[in-house]
Amino acid sequence: MNRSSTTRQARGVTRSTTAAAPAVAPAPAVDDAPVELRFARFVAAMKESRTADAERELAALKERLPAGSLGLVRAQAWFDLRAGRDAAAADGYRTILERLPGDEEAAINLASIQSRQQKTEEARATLDAASRLQPDSAALRAALAQFTPAARQ
């Protein structure tokens, strides 16, 4: 056998060995973004009405944070509110108010749900309770005027 046929045979073996080796798929990219970045992405997606992106970020936050963490409860309540799940959103906002009485955002969002459900007295009570704890809050005063127009100003 001459030298060129040996080289061709060796190349043939190499080719067939390489061709027979299974292709290794690259590992899927893991997004191990910090929780703060996840929250920022969630907020941006919510503000831009990108529901699927917000839901994906919320799911990632649920994997990283304890179930009862305040940030997670707040994010879930906001998502539920936007999704039209008023009962779930109201539960979330009540949870926040139990832990942070007077929280403006939770009180206003809960009162807006109560107002839509024609529960004006409940909305007033929610806002009154928060206003007693935050008497200088212009946001709470404005919400009280908006959601309970007959309320004392």
Write the pLDDT tens digit of every residue in 7-16: 444 444 444 4
Res 93 pLDDT > 70: yes
Domain total for the chain?
1
Res 110 pLDDT > 50:
yes
Looking at residue 137, which CATH number applies to its domain?
A: 1.25.40
Average of per-residue pLDDT values in the chain? 85
131, two tokens = 């206003």
- Residue 27 domain-assigned (yes or no): no
Q: Is residue 152 part of a domain?
A: yes
**Residues spanned by the domain of 95:** 84-153
Classify the phi-psi angles of 50: left when phi > 0, otherwise alpha if psi is within -120 to 50, otherwise beta. Answer: beta
d(CA 83, CA 51) in angstroms, rounded, equals: 9
Q: Which segment of 29-38, 69-78, 108-117, 136-145 scores lowest on mean pLDDT?
A: 29-38
Average pLDDT on 87-97 reads 98
Q: Tens digits of per-residue pLDDT, 25-60?
A: 554 455 678 999 999 999 999 999 999 999 999 999
